[in-house]
Amino acid sequence: MHPSQHVRLQQQKIVSRRAKNSDSYEFFNLITGPEFLDRVESLLPEHRERLFPPTETLSMFLAQAMSADRSCQKAVDDAAIKRLVGGLPTCSTHTGAYCQARSRLPLEMISSLTLHTGRLMSRSTPLKWRWQGRPIRLVDGTTVALPDTQRNQSVYPQPNSQQPGLGFPQCRLVGMICLGSGAVLNAALGPCRGKGSDEQTLLRSILDTLESGDILLGDAFYATYFLLCQLQQLGVDAVFEQQGSRRRSTDFRRGHRLGERDHLIELCKPKRKPDWMSQTEYDLAPATLKVRELMTGGKLLVTTLCCPKRTSKAALKILYRERWHVELDFRNIKTTLGMEMLSCRSPEMAEKEIWVYLLAYNLIRLLMAQAALLADILPRQLSFKHTLQLWVGWRWSEYGSDDYEKLSVFFSLIAQQRTGKQPGRVEPRAIKRRPKPFPLLTKSRQLAREEIRLYGHPKKLN
């Protein structure tokens, strides 16, 4: 027997042995148990008996997010084949009824289910998935492109650097993710231009997601005085990279020295009140704030974990490396699932589409958490794309969620593919494959069409 086959056989035996316990499907039962079903039932809007009821419509919407072909036509065709195989009356393959059903889905229903699944997963994470027994929350921001329609442009305008008719509306998204389970706990959406469009403002709108005892991990965008004060009031510790403006003024000879390039300092409240803050909130903010600054791994970190005996410099170095997982999580959502470029042509539907992608991501993360629990490994060791591919195949099988013998094999298949450790990996941000030699569109599409009608296509492509 080949060594790799022997390892896979041992992995399957471990999963099968642990799956025999009655409570071994703790994570999988979160979406098949009564609590989740009751939650879905409570969020259903009033509706008549239609071809696409809300639950069926949401299921098809999720299937779109998980499919390589994300068109509405593919979703309706799959539904028609499913009805045909199930012996139900056939339905039309036109997409109008399904698109109307999607528009009737309440945004609150989709977002609430996303937050509910994330909350359930986070609360069920074993102690060994945490850092020194404490939950780690990752925060970061990203942007999503929308179709270039007038309605999308009015709510999510394109960047000023792009000419009218040549750019795409941009939506900013700030997400909070659980490091242990990988689940999205909350997210805030906003435009990329205008007042209140920055990541700090969006993060403040979801700070109530955090609980006392959490640790928030983020990059240099978040290392501000007032955010650190807010987190301290919530009983939440923070580990951020120091802002560039403060890096230049850092002097480890000042403050209370804790070790080499490691000290405690007191930050003073900014004399100027931020525009977003009321005068009352500004007056109530503390005049000074004690934080810890340290240089480790080439990064200048600022944290409220001030005790070097409880939290060593080496431990903080390892912890901050985990921040990179939020970048990988957004890559899975945007590239693997396909949220990088949305397809809905109105801002209301685009927001629903984003939350459907986040819900689909959480459901795949739930399967990964269940497989990791059975295989006695960490969910971060498993491949998201591999799990997605297996789940898409499982959806078309004849096995249900109550066939636990087949489920144990299914989860062992998820646990087979492990992500490799690549410390210090460096890759060029460039592509080798050349694109087709079409020139860039430098004028509005309508004007370009008119020129083609008058003069034809250019004979030689630059």
pLDDT digits (tens, 9 = 90+) for 329-359: 999 999 999 999 999 999 999 999 999 999 9
Tallying the residues shown for the chain, one arrives at: 462
Per-residue pLDDT at 459 exceeds 80? no
Map tokens 């750019």 to a residue: 167
Query: What's the domain range around 281?
Result: 220-314
Per-residue pLDDT at 409 exceeds 70? yes
Is 292 found in the same domain as 245?
yes
Is 378 found in the same domain as 303?
no
Average pLDDT of the residues in 245-259: 87
Q: Which residues contact 399 (CB under 8 A, 6 or more apart)?
A: 406, 407
How does residue 186 score in pLDDT terms, banded at 50, 70 and 90? very high
> Hey, which of 48-57, 206-215, 272-281, 420-429 has the most confident mean pLDDT?
206-215
Average pLDDT of the residues in 137-146: 97
Domain assignment present for residue 307? The answer is yes
Domain assignment present for residue 133? The answer is no
Domain assignment present for residue 214? The answer is no
Query: Residue 18: its pLDDT value, please?
Result: 55
Is 286 found in the same domain as 225?
yes
Task: Please state which of the ranges 229-238, 303-312, 452-461 shows the lowest mean pLDDT.
Answer: 452-461
Per-residue pLDDT at 102 exceeds 80? yes
Cβ atoms of 339 and 333 within 8 Å: the answer is: yes
- Of 257, 262, 210, nearest to 238 by C-alpha is 210
Domain assignment present for residue 254? The answer is yes
How does residue 3 score in pLDDT terms, banded at 50, 70 and 90? low
Is 366 found in the same domain as 292?
no
Query: Residue 334: its pLDDT value, please?
Result: 97
Higher per-residue pLDDT: 191 or 82: 191
Query: Residue 90: its pLDDT value, please?
Result: 84
Domain assignment present for residue 9? The answer is yes
Measure the CA–CA gap between 282 and 293, rounded to whole angstroms: 24
Angle made by CA atoms 150, 141, 225, in degrees to the nearest 5? 120
Is 304 found in the same domain as 253?
yes
Query: Residue 58: its pLDDT value, please?
Result: 93
Q: In the listed set 289, 314, 339, which residue is the last one of a domain according to the structure?
A: 314
Query: Residue 91: its pLDDT value, please?
Result: 87
Query: Residue 22: its pLDDT value, please?
Result: 39
Measure the CA–CA gap between 356 and 363, rounded to whole angstroms: 11
Query: Residue 149: its pLDDT value, please?
Result: 95
Higher per-residue pLDDT: 9 or 41: 41
User: From start to end of 204-355, where are the E strands?
Assistant: 215-218, 237-241, 256-259, 262-268, 288-296, 299-303
Percent of all residues in the chain with a pLDDT value above 90, rounded to a whole number: 66
Is 363 found in the same domain as 297?
no
Per-residue pLDDT at 415 exceeds 60? yes
What is the pTM for the complete model shown?
A: 0.90
Average pLDDT of the residues in 439-445: 86
Domain assignment present for residue 432? The answer is no
Q: What is the DSSP letter of 209?
A: G
Average pLDDT of the residues in 212-230: 96
Percent of all residues in the chain with a pLDDT value above 70, rounded to a whole number: 91
Give 256's strand partners.
Answer: 264
Domain assignment present for residue 375? The answer is yes
Average pLDDT of the residues in 164-186: 95
Q: In the listed set 299, 314, 329, which residue is the last one of a domain according to the structure?
A: 314
Is 310 found in the same domain as 356?
no
H-helix or E-strand containing 171? strand 170-178
Is 360 found in the same domain as 299?
no
Higher per-residue pLDDT: 429 or 398: 429
Domain assignment present for residue 456? The answer is no
Q: What is the DSSP letter of 383?
A: -
- Of 286, 272, 280, 268, nearest to 231 by C-alpha is 286
Query: Residue 399: its pLDDT value, please?
Result: 59
Per-residue pLDDT at 47 exceeds 90? no
**Mean per-residue pLDDT of the chain:** 89
Query: Residue 14: its pLDDT value, please?
Result: 59
Higher per-residue pLDDT: 311 or 444: 311
Number of domains in the chain: 2
